[in-house]
A and B are shown apart, each in its own frame.
Chain A
Amino acid sequence: MAELDEHVVAPARLTLMTTLTAVSDAEFATLRETLGVSDSVLSKHLGALEAVGYLRRHKGVRGGRRTTWISLTPLGRRALRAHVTALRALIDAID
């Protein structure tokens, strides 16, 4: 049985990483608005996931302003896929 990933087990991080699978890169403010969280909360989760190599941040420009863009890494995609598999197994085991 696949193991839950301790770095993704928090629902907020699962939502953050799952949302990033819908795009190649997302700008910080777009992600914050979509998730409905504050700058500091989002930054904290981004920092934690970046530290384990699940996503990367890079500087870019939007509307003439320098902004931060975020994307999942291949490692992050694999980790998310494995975590979701483990969650589904957990649900199926009860059903």
Chain B
Amino acid sequence: MESKSPRPTAQEASAALVDAEATRARLAGRIATPSWFFVSMGVAIAVQVATVAVGLGDKQALDAGELGTPWLVAAGLAVFAAVAGVQLARFRRLNGVWLGGFASRVVLGTATAASVSYPVALGAAIWAAYGERWWLVALWSLVGGAAYALSGRRWMHTYRGDPAAHARGESLAWLALVTAAAVGGLVTLALNA
């Protein structure tokens, strides 16, 4: 590797670009998710949706103007936060890279498919819980978890097709804000439990 090079010819410039892009594609192709990653994320989201639905959709509590079971909601959020944290640490250790796009789009679910499917599943599960249709709560929780996991798989495929465009995701400031809001919500729910 030379540090000083004369002005390249067109052929050299072309070869250098091809080599650089091939090396980038090789790194992106080697980036893998830890074992059981998508299953664990799907289950964590399913648990989180179910706990929010059961915790907030309690018909008797809502009819009485109360909040339901906030500790259950907090427990679901805690499960998700723990799974997400562990999986991000495993991803970083496994690959030797940090991928902001992966953290935000796959783990925090800001990819388009997850950001649409999650509120739909959550709303449907809360509605089912309010109607005391517990089998529907379970079904919508599973649908939400599966859609979240599939959205993550889809993002990985998209990332490998154009790593430079998808590597970074949202800014650290935005992720910090979202995390702070989630932690704040968790603490508030725990204090109200």
Q: Which residues of A contact B (CB under 8 A)?
A: 4, 9-15, 17-19, 21-27, 29-30, 34-35, 37, 41, 44-45, 48, 62-63, 69, 84, 87-88, 90-91, 93-95
Contact = CB atoms under 8 A, between A and B. Distances in A.
B96 A29 contact: yes
Contact of A87 (B8, B100, B167): B8
Given A37-B1, A48-B3, A22 B27 contact: yes
A24 B5 contact: no
A17 B16 CA distance: 12
Interface residues of A: mostly helix, strand, loop or mixed?
A: helix
Given A10-B3, A45-B1, A25 B97 contact: yes
A89 to B, nearest CB: 9
B163 A22 contact: yes
Given A11-B19, A90-B13, 13 more contacts: A11-B5, A21-B163, A22-B24, A22-B27, A22-B163, A23-B167, A30-B96, A35-B23, A37-B1, A41-B1, A45-B1, A87-B8, A91-B13
Contact of A91 (B14, B20, B31, B99): B14
Interface in B1-35: 1-5, 7-8, 10, 12-17, 19-21, 23-28, 30-31
Given A23-B98, A41-B1, A62-B96, A14 B167 contact: no
Quick one: which of A17, A23, A25, A94 has the most chain B CB within 10 A? A23
Interface residues of B, number: 38
Contacts of B167: 21-24
Nearest to B164: A21
A84 B18 CA distance: 11
B59 interface: no
B10 A91 contact: yes
A18 B10 CA distance: 19
Nearest to A95: B10
Contacts, number: 111
Contacts of B3: 10, 12-13, 44-45, 48
Given A19-B23, A21-B164, A45-B1, A27 B96 contact: yes
Contacts of A25: 97-98
Nearest to A13: B3
B60 interface: no
A32 to B, nearest CB: 10
Contacts of B7: 4, 9
Contacts of B101: 24
B93 interface: yes
Given A18-B20, A87-B13, A26 B1 contact: no
B95 interface: yes
A48 B28 CA distance: 25
